[in-house]
Amino acid sequence: MQNKSIAVTELGFKDFKETWNFQERLFQQIIDTKVANRREDKDDETKNHLLLVEHPHVYTLGKNGDAKNLLLDEANLKNIGARFYKINRGGDITYHGPGQLVAYPILDLENFFTDIHKYLRFLEEVVILTLDEYGIKAQRSEGETGVWLDVGTPFARKICAMGVRASRWTTMHGLALNVNTNLGYFDHIVPCGIEDKAVTSLHVELGKEDIPLAEVKSIMLKHFEKRFEAQLNYDL
């Protein structure tokens, strides 16, 4: 029987490595349950999680990314108060920091559908629908995972980066939506390894000083629940 209940956990402002370790524990618990079910002919329910967090300044490089896309050495990373990690998701390099809404769905996709491509498109759609409520027309860009504005024009810019890991139809890592993000930190990388595209944020696009992050979360969660036909349970 499919479990479409998702436990939502607000982590607040939390170190990336601590959050990564927490993700790994939840991810492994799902994997262990699935392995035991198959080996022991059991039918124990697997859990689903959605973590919401803001990180201190950090750059992360996906397993197939190019370290040359980080344009700083260790000393300069320290000067700007940022850390750097090579991690086990797909995608290249990205930045996380204050004012950015990061969502990590740790789902057993066998509870929903077994299609990674569809999963990524669903995540993109959740963000597109969220931005639409602010009057922003966001889009997919063919061959480039994430959410973009003005695709196909010289002004194309990315507002949400995505990168996931999946094993045994279980996911981790996720998406990062720039809300009130200091975009200057993107100047120190080649974002997602794409040299000719800019980045943007919700507050830049709206021309407002500060967008309430809690408001954006609420809208995103509404669309996540509807798109995945899930039941969100809040651990706030």
- Would you name the residues annotated as active-site residues? 192
Tokens matching residue 6: 């998702």
- CA 48 vs CA 45, 66, 117, 141, 211: distances in Å: 10, 32, 19, 29, 29
85 is in an annotated binding site: no
State how far the Cα of 97 lies from the Cα of 16, in Å rounded to an integer: 10
176 is in an annotated binding site: yes
Q: Is 207 exposed, middle or buried (0-12, 13-18, 19+ CB in 10 A)?
A: exposed
152 is in an annotated binding site: no
157 is in an annotated binding site: no
Backbone CA torsion sign across 194, 78, 84, 127: negative
91 is in an annotated binding site: yes
65 is in an annotated binding site: no
161 is in an annotated binding site: yes
Tokens matching residue 183: 């975009």
214 is in an annotated binding site: no
Closest by CA position to 58, among listed 12, 19, 105: 19
94 is in an annotated binding site: yes
25 is in an annotated binding site: no
> 189 in helix, strand or coil?
strand
Tokens matching residue 142: 């063919």
- Mark the binding-site residues, compressed into ranges: 89-96, 161-163, 174-176
- Mark the binding-site residues for substrate, compressed into ranges: 89-96, 161-163, 174-176
